[in-house]
Amino acid sequence: MFSCLLLLASAALPCAGAAPSDGADGRKSLGNDDDTFVFMGRCPNGEMYRLLAYDKQVGGFKRSFYDYEGPAGKGTIKSQTAPRVIASRVCLALAEMAGDE
């Protein structure tokens, strides 16, 4: 048991001194500034859905939009609603996909 823990601890040591990448080697550095996300999955009825969540400047303000495709149809809405709520709506064939306005 002790030897397994020692093995795990020694495997983690090389990572402890690793410096974060500055993106100079061609990889994009990670951050909190992403504003576009794609969500895909399978609805409870077996059909697939796809959401593209993104922010767009409208009238000088940043607004959240979703492009959706699934059992509820295909379209775009402006909404501050969480992606999991939009996903549950797009999975309902007769759901009304209404935005915030």
Position 40 in a domain: yes
Task: Name the DSSP class of 31.
Answer: -
pLDDT per position in the chain (101 positions), as tens? Answer: 444 433 444 444 444 444 554 555 566 666 666 778 899 999 999 999 999 999 998 899 989 999 999 999 999 999 998 988 999 999 998 887 877 76
pTM of the model: 0.63
Q: How far is CA 68 from the centre of its chain?
A: 13
Helix segments in the chain, DSSP class H:
2-16, 83-90
Nearest CA-CA partner of 69 in 46, 52, 45:
52
How many domains, the chain?
1
User: What is the phi/psi pair of residue 74, to 5°?
Assistant: -140, 135
Position 25 in a domain: no
For residue 75, the enclosing domain spans 35-101
- The beta-strand segments (E) located in 1-101 are 36-42, 48-58, 61-70, 73-78
